[in-house]
Chains A and B, each alone.
Chain A
Amino acid sequence: MQAATADTLSDELAKGSEKKRLSRLERRRIAEDWAFILPQLIVFIFLTIVPFFVAIPILFTDMAQFNDPRINPVGLRNFTALFTDPSVQRDYLPALRRTIIFVVLNYTTVYIFGLSLALLMYEVGFRGGFFTVVYLPLMVSGLAVGYMAVMLFSRETGTANLLLLELGLIKEPFDLYSAEGTAFILPLLVGWRYAGYNMAIFLSGLLAIPQETIEAAIVDGTNYWQRLTRVYFPQMWPSFILATTMCLIGSFAVFDELVAMGALYVNPEAKLLSILFFTYGFQVERLAMGMTLAVMTFLPLVFVGIALQRLQRRLQY
């Protein structure tokens, strides 16, 4: 008992003296570290964290536009509007439905393009030339990809439509501006654009797998499918989680492609949630409502994202 107390005492003494001894050098070091950290951190906090605090008071008002001269408090009305106000429901619910369909389809393209191409590349050996081609669409803006969709799949004038009709491969042209057209063509093109990015994520996961585990599985006489599900995938969890996080956050925030497909004016089928928030903020003078809906939609996502990040880090180390 006494020994223990003495131990802790001496421990504390040691710590105290260490603190004192290190204090001048170490404090100077910490101060200098902060001098290096601060310039970017100030900009980051100012543009990423502060906006949350700017938004909080606005959420409880009827602020209609930026620099609105007359602002009245409305309590929780913006939050309940989603459940009580038919005009908001009419805008929000179809946009939510389209967004969820898009997220699901877009998430499948992560695997259809990204994972398949990564496996192909892994099995036949890294090909720089092919990588260049797969990564090429990422050099193109989302806006241009959206206009490419318009150019290829407009009902009357789309080049792909005209070509496929000419070759006799389709009877009816695709129509980008129909509900199904937008729902399927959009994720296809977004998946194509991000194929190189997702391929890089999965490929780096594959390359990190210890070669012995694969050789052992081959010696044991496994077929390819068994090797995929029992050897490759379990060792690639961090890649899967990273791809999922990026896809989830990215698809909810998809905007540029939609603008190109006419979402702001002519094509109501392309009105996803991001377009709705933008319209409320900049076009129809429902700024506070738009902010509230954005917070209600995205804040849960942020927490899901944080959870995924933690999971990824735990699996990595």
Chain B
Amino acid sequence: MASNALTQPQLDKGPVFTVGRRRTLLRIFALLVMVIYTLLTLFPFYALFVRSFVPTKESADLHLWLPEVQEVSMSAEVGNLAVFYDLDLTDMKEVLGIPPTEFIMARTSLAEVAEDYNIPEEEIKKFFAGFYRYNGWNTLLLGDLYGTTFWGALFRSLLVTAVSLVILITLSIFTGYGLAGLRRRDQMAVYNIYLLQMVIPAMLILLPQYQLLQWIFNIFPAYADKGLTRWGLQLLAIVLINIKGTALSTMIFTAAISAIPKDLEDSAMIDGASRLQYVRYILFPLLKVPIVSLVVIYMPLIYNQFLEPYVYLDPANATLLPFTQSAVGQFSTNFQVIYSAIFASVVPMIIVYLLFRRLFVQGVMAGAIKG
């Protein structure tokens, strides 16, 4: 008996000890995986940031930190600076006091410019201070391209995203309310039509959809000319494509509204509310969770939309991503501008994401359960 009492705890201790150790090992392993995955995920963003400051001529060197500020070499040729670094010659002439009518040959070096026009070397070096390091950002943020600027494109992107989201949510709530319960055959049919969206790839309908909208836009005579009507209609096409409703939006709101007790509607009706008033004043405040879900899922999708804006919008009317793509085409030899443009296109959405990360995590998990 006594010996039993002595051995019993030891027998118990054995397995407890190993389970504890296995658990610790598992934890360390999991932590390790998480740390490595985090580093690998963050690395491309960091590398992109660094590369937006690395002059194109140094692309073949490894840079893990911002390159040092370099002085411009006086033997650099103006032509090369213009081609590879998008040096604005008119700008240079103005700052250095060279008459704009003067023609500078492409092979002229900066030393020769200094000599020909009697400009002290210091002044030229001052003009080119930080030229290599900030070349990408200067070209991107200050320059213009095909009749628009980075800021114009950013504005259009934000506008399209905001307008699309507001209308998408409003219409999707209406749809969910009209379908709530899915009791009748007509409701079920509409619901199934929306489910189709999930399995129809955008590429399948892109060409005929474009044709269809062209037919309609050509009804407006002003569509043929560059101007507000044309650009407005083009942006309208993008908004329409974004608000048309998806399988997910329909599922989320139909499920959420079906779960709200019918008594609530009945009592609102007895109090004399119309159904529209019921949606506005009672349903809407109750739908915060699905609305957040929809916003956090669709905001990045709409902001990052490329195919449709690329097809529908004129370059002068482009949103951020088509603008980035035309910047790549234009500055194809200047990697620095390209990486600056990509980094700049990524930053706004990342900031929103980090600010509201809690909402994103909750919204996505809620959305995944529905989907």
Contact B204 A295 (CB under 8 A): yes
Which of B65-73, B124-132, B236-244 lies at the interface?
B236-244
Contact A142 B304 (CB under 8 A): yes
Which of B26-34, B81-89, B105-113, B144-152 lies at the interface?
B26-34
Interface string of B329-346 (1 = CB under 8 A from A): 000000100110010011
Residue in contact with A291 in the complex, picked from B34, B207, B240, CB distance below 8 Å: B207
Contact B245 A139 (CB under 8 A): no
| Minimum Cβ distance to chain A for residue B368 (Å) | 4
| Minimum Cβ distance to chain A for residue B64 (Å) | 7
B360 within 8 A of A: yes
Interface string of A173-198 (1 = CB under 8 A from B): 00000000000000000001000110
Residue in contact with A66 in the complex, picked from B30, B64, B211, B241, CB distance below 8 Å: B211
B273 within 8 A of A: no
User: Please, how many angstroms separate the alpha-carbon atoms of A302 and B30 in the complex?
Assistant: 39
Which of A37, A39, A127, A301: most chain B CB closer than 10 A?
A: A37
CB nearest to A274 among chain B residues: B203
- Classify chain B's interface size: 35 or more
Contact residues in B for A252 (Cβ distance below 8 Å): 201, 203
Contact B199 A249 (CB under 8 A): yes
- Classify chain A's interface size: 35 or more
Contact residues in A for B171 (Cβ distance below 8 Å): 39-40, 43
Which of B6-14, B92-100, B186-194 lies at the interface?
B186-194
Residue in contact with A47 in the complex, picked from B64, B177, B190, B244, CB distance below 8 Å: B244
Contact residues in A for B38 (Cβ distance below 8 Å): 130, 133
Contact B197 A281 (CB under 8 A): no
Contact A66 B203 (CB under 8 A): no
Residues of chain A having any CB pair with chain B under 8 Å? 30, 32-37, 39-41, 43-52, 54-55, 58, 66-67, 117, 120, 123-124, 127-128, 130-144, 147-148, 151-152, 156-157, 159-160, 162-163, 166, 192, 196-197, 200-201, 203-204, 208, 242, 245-246, 249, 252-253, 255-256, 259, 273-274, 277-278, 281-282, 287, 290-291, 294-295, 298-299, 301-302, 304-306, 308-309
The 3 closest A-B pairs by CB, nearest first: A305-B199, A141-B304, A36-B178
List 14 A-B residue pairs with CB atoms under 8 Å apart, sorted by A's residue number. A30-B184, A40-B174, A46-B212, A47-B209, A50-B212, A54-B211, A151-B44, A157-B335, A159-B50, A159-B51, A204-B365, A249-B201, A302-B196, A305-B199
